[in-house]
Amino acid sequence: MKIRASVRKICTKCRLIRRRG
């Protein structure tokens, strides 16, 4: 879960792409 928190700070757009799959 630590990596997920880092990804959120690095780029929020990446999170949207991951939600699509």
**What count of residues does the chain have?**
21
Instruction: Output the pTM of the full model.
Output: 0.18
pLDDT tens for residues 1-21? 576 766 666 677 777 777 765
Give the pLDDT confidence score for residue 1 in this predicted structure.
Answer: 56
Give the pLDDT confidence score for residue 19 in this predicted structure.
Answer: 73
8 within 8 A of 1, measured Cβ to Cβ: no
